[in-house]
Amino acid sequence: MKPSFSCLFFLLLRLLLFCFLHCVASSTARQRDLLNKFYFNNGAERSSSSSWARSLLSISDLESKAYDNSGLKEGDKVVRLPGQPKGVHFDQYAGYVTVDRANGRALFYYFVEAAENSGSKPIVLWLNGGPGCSSLGYGAMEELGPFRVMSDGKTLYRNPYAWNEVANVLFLESPAGVGFSYSNTTSDYATSGDRRTAIDALVFLVNWFERFPEYKGRDLFITGESYAGHYVPQLAHAILHHKDRLINLKGIAIGNAVIDEETSNKGLLDYYWTHAFLADETIVAIHKFCNFSPGAQLQPPECNRAIAEANHVFTEVNVYNIYAPLCFSSGVTPTPKLPSIENFDPCTSNYVEAYLNNPKVQKALHANVTKLNYTWSGCSKVIQGWSDQPSTMLPIIHELLSNGIRVLKYSGDLDGRVPVTSTRYSLNKLKLKVKVPWRAWMLNNEVGGYTVVYDHNLTFATVRGAGHSVPSYQPARALEMIKSFLQGLHLPVILRN
């Protein structure tokens, strides 16, 4: 077997699983560039989840990282975002929380209080994945935040399905090097990884609660998508093991989330075949010749050839929503186009990038106060390596369930990046009993998706017609789903006749 084949196989498999999940949503050209040039993670430590968890427990100096945050809250208040529409009746805050004073690591957050009764509503922390992509740029400005950016890159419009209808929502750009978050110790960017991402996020939360003490003890839900399938359970695990900090974690929700390497790869290729993007002979070869177990090394040439065939799909369609149109422009429009919350604009990332690089916007957000020597971008251009990533999150998810943490795993069913097939295969590995059988859930007399509840309070839900970033493509369904989850209710049903 030629060495080039085995190299290709590993490159492709890892691309299939990890590569910067959000950077490439806006054009095929960019997707192809990425596929050709970028996979930063060749040297990552591939530990099992349980050994990863043990080493995470060795955060002995957490107390020393609880800095003085008193009085900083008011300085973080966002008076008004440039281009913001009238009639905003909730408070917004944004700014930096130092997570490592010695190295000068500080994480940027954007906090949106609930539109009504914020004092009695839970906190939802939202994390985007990547690794390396921004919760401000994606989560807040393209998905579930209160505003979306118009095509002029200057004006905002209201998202009527924002999650601050039901919660106080905290967007965190994580780890340092993502978005406006930074480290004064540049070498930190070369040593990013799951472990430090979780520790820094925990330190962030501890300090954030000091800055917003009225939220201490409030119900907390950690949510996110894509590679945040690692971040979210890992942070939840870290919180559980530092109960002394009195963070009132109730549940986690992860969407189109990477949680298990073996099933992600197999599920992705099966998804392409069952959605008629692959030849029969390609999937037959994959099933016959490829070994997806995390320990597998050399693959026969028949497997490599089939994977190379499958890789064409990535270069041809928007894998984050396999039926969505592509974006063929690279900038913004001189005048704003009439936006539609129901039809997601495939060029949205362009508008967000323009907006967040506007100095007036940065000033309003208290962002970039140290004058970073790079521009804001949706996915990090400074993080160059990723030092550790467990091959599966399933043991941690099991641990969370055993500790009474509610888990929602949801899946936009048009995503080809972390498809619903992968998620179902992953969850099946948990071998949990079905508590409430599979059924449709409904919104406005339409099927919002399908759902099943497993023992220990694990809910799986699909969101029908949604891509990778579910609230971008199906905002009403996403809001309905998270609302039910926060309230501890089953997703809505109608009776069949």
Collapsing DSSP to helix, strand or coil, 375 comes out as coil
Nearer Cβ to a second copy, position 372 or 447?
447
Question: Does the protein bind a second copy through residue 240 (CB under 8 A)?
Answer: no
Question: Does the protein bind a second copy through residue 62 (CB under 8 A)?
Answer: no
Collapsing DSSP to helix, strand or coil, 250 comes out as strand
User: Is 226 marked active-site?
Assistant: yes
Q: How far apart are CA 33 and CA 315, in angstroms?
A: 9
Question: Does the protein bind a second copy through residue 316 (CB under 8 A)?
Answer: yes
400 closest CA partner among 254, 261, 251, 260: 251
Question: Does the protein bind a second copy through residue 66 (CB under 8 A)?
Answer: no
Question: Does the protein bind a second copy through residue 325 (CB under 8 A)?
Answer: yes
Question: Does the protein bind a second copy through residue 438 (CB under 8 A)?
Answer: yes
> How many residues can be counted in the chain?
497
Collapsing DSSP to helix, strand or coil, 306 comes out as helix
Report which secondary-structure segment, H or E, holds 462: strand 458-463
Least distance between a second copy and beta carbon 412 (Å)? 10
Nearer Cβ to a second copy, position 38 or 438?
438
Question: Does the protein bind a second copy through residue 476 (CB under 8 A)?
Answer: no
118 closest CA partner among 205, 219, 210, 202: 219
HSE toward the beta carbon, residue 289, CA cutoff 13 A: 17
Q: Which residue has the tokens 């008629």?
A: 276
Least distance between a second copy and beta carbon 419 (Å)? 9
Least distance between a second copy and beta carbon 316 (Å)? 5
> Which range in 2-10, 131-139, 176-184, 443-451 contacts a second copy by CB under 8 A?
443-451
Nearer Cβ to a second copy, position 164 or 265?
265
> Which range in 210-218, 241-249, 323-331, 481-489 contacts a second copy by CB under 8 A?
323-331
Collapsing DSSP to helix, strand or coil, 348 comes out as helix
CB 391 within 8 A of CB 198: no
Question: Does the protein bind a second copy through residue 282 (CB under 8 A)?
Answer: yes
Nearer Cβ to a second copy, position 179 or 475?
475
Report which secondary-structure segment, H or E, holds 92: strand 92-100
The one catalytic residue in 415, 422, 426, 456 is 415
3-class DSSP string for 161-210: CCHHHCCEEEEEECCCCCCCCEECCHHHHHHCCHHHHHHHHHHHHHHHHH
Q: How far apart are CA 474 and CA 321, in angstroms?
A: 12
Q: How far apart are CA 149 and CA 83, in angstroms?
A: 9
Collapsing DSSP to helix, strand or coil, 126 comes out as strand
The site for a second copy, by CB under 8 A, has a size of 44
The one catalytic residue in 49, 134, 174, 226 is 226
258 closest CA partner among 477, 428, 52, 19: 19
Nearer Cβ to a second copy, position 240 or 442?
442
User: Is 91 marked active-site?
Assistant: no
Q: Which of 42, 51, 274, 487 binds a second copy (CB under 8 A)?
A: 274
Nearer Cβ to a second copy, position 165 or 270?
270
The one catalytic residue in 345, 468, 469, 472 is 468
Binding to a second copy (CB under 8 A) within 449-468 occurs at 450, 452, 462, 464-465
CB 434 within 8 A of CB 452: yes
Per-residue x/- marks for a second copy, 354-393, CB under 8 A? ----------------------------------------
419 closest CA partner among 356, 466, 482: 466
Least distance between a second copy and beta carbon 16 (Å)? 18
Collapsing DSSP to helix, strand or coil, 485 comes out as helix
Collapsing DSSP to helix, strand or coil, 385 comes out as coil
Question: Does the protein bind a second copy through residue 11 (CB under 8 A)?
Answer: no
Least distance between a second copy and beta carbon 263 (Å)? 13
Least distance between a second copy and beta carbon 483 (Å)? 21
Question: Does the protein bind a second copy through residue 116 (CB under 8 A)?
Answer: no
Question: Does the protein bind a second copy through residue 278 (CB under 8 A)?
Answer: yes
HSE toward the beta carbon, residue 324, CA cutoff 13 A: 32
Question: Does the protein bind a second copy through residue 58 (CB under 8 A)?
Answer: no
Torsion angles phi and psi, residue 113, rounded to 5: -75, 160
Is residue 326 exposed (0-12), middle (13-18) or buried (19+ Cβ within 10 Å)? middle
Report which secondary-structure segment, H or E, holds 81: none
Q: How far apart are CA 51 and CA 294, in angstroms?
A: 15
Q: How far apart are CA 140 and CA 78, in angstroms?
A: 15
Residue type, 244: D
Question: Does the protein bind a second copy through residue 184 (CB under 8 A)?
Answer: no
Nearer Cβ to a second copy, position 15 or 354?
15
Question: Does the protein bind a second copy through residue 270 (CB under 8 A)?
Answer: yes
Q: Which of 32, 154, 241, 250 binds a second copy (CB under 8 A)?
A: 32
Binding to a second copy (CB under 8 A) within 391-420 occurs at 411, 413-414, 420
User: Is 230 marked active-site?
Assistant: no
* Footprint of a second copy (CB under 8 A): 28, 32, 270-271, 274-282, 312, 315-317, 322-323, 325-326, 328, 411, 413-414, 420-421, 424, 428, 434, 437-440, 445-447, 450, 452, 462, 464-465, 496-497
Active site residues: 226, 415, 468
